[in-house]
């Protein structure tokens, strides 16, 4: 029996580190097939496990991403102030746990000093040039941000403009942004 239910699409998330500031921005569009279901989803969140500030953006299934964010918070509580260790532990669980293996999402996480992309393949990737992007319009946003990173623009200005460019190109990305900034 094949599943004829259309795929969910519609996320672009970017993280930009410049100087002592990291900005994570995400669009608000969720599409089912060729239909926009919602234009104002909030895919970037601030987490504060034990008072430790982390910003996370997610692409993929919302329920799956929330399950992963809950696990990340638990890992951060177990390893306070150690985003890299918590991220590696989450990726390890995600890859080996039978329940988690079925989750379809990706995360960008930052504590203001480090930026990581976490995937279900067990990857914890630290991006080059301080820029990470995921989702359907991620490559467009990444290219735009890389072109601007050496300019006088702030991390937030770069993230906003890169998301604007991605929204102009990717039909699964809109201009309704959630932006979170964190500094170290």
Catalytic positions, written as ranges: 11
- Rounded Cα distance between 47 and 119, Å, is 19
CA distances from 9 to 25, 61, 119, 134 (A): 17, 9, 17, 12
Residue 71 CA to residue 80 CA, distance in Å, equals 14
Angle, CA of 162, 19 and 173, to the nearest 5°: 15
Measured between its terminal Cα atoms, the distance across the chain in Å is 51
Say if CB 12 and CB 170 are below 8 A apart: yes
Whole-angstrom distance, CA of residue 140 vs CA of residue 12: 9
Of 15, 6, 10, 5, whose CA–CA distance to 146 is shortest?
15
Q: Are 135 and 80 in contact (CB under 8 A)?
A: no
């Amino acid at each position: 029996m094949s599943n004829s239910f259309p795929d969910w699409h519609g996320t672009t998330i970017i993280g930009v580190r410049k100087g002592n500031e990291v900005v994570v921005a995400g669009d608000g569009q969720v599409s089912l097939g060729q239909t926009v279901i919602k234009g104002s989803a909030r895919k970037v969140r601030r987490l504060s496990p034990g008072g430790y500030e982390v910003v996370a953006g997610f692409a993929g299934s919302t329920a799956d991403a929330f399950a992963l964010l809950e696990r990340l918070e638990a890992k951060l509580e177990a390893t306070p102030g150690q985003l890299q260790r918590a991220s590696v532990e989450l990726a390890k669980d995600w890859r080996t746990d039978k329940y988690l293996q079925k989750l379809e999402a990706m995360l960008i996480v930052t504590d203001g000093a480090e930026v990581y992309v976490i995937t279900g393949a067990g990857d914890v990737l630290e991006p080059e040039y301080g820029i990470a992007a995921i989702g359907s319009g991620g490559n467009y946003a990444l290219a735009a941000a890389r072109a601007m990173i050496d300019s006088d623009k702030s991390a937030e200005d770069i993230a906003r403009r890169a998301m604007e460019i991605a929204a102009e190109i990717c039909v699964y990305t809109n201009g309704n942004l959630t932006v979170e900034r964190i500094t170290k």
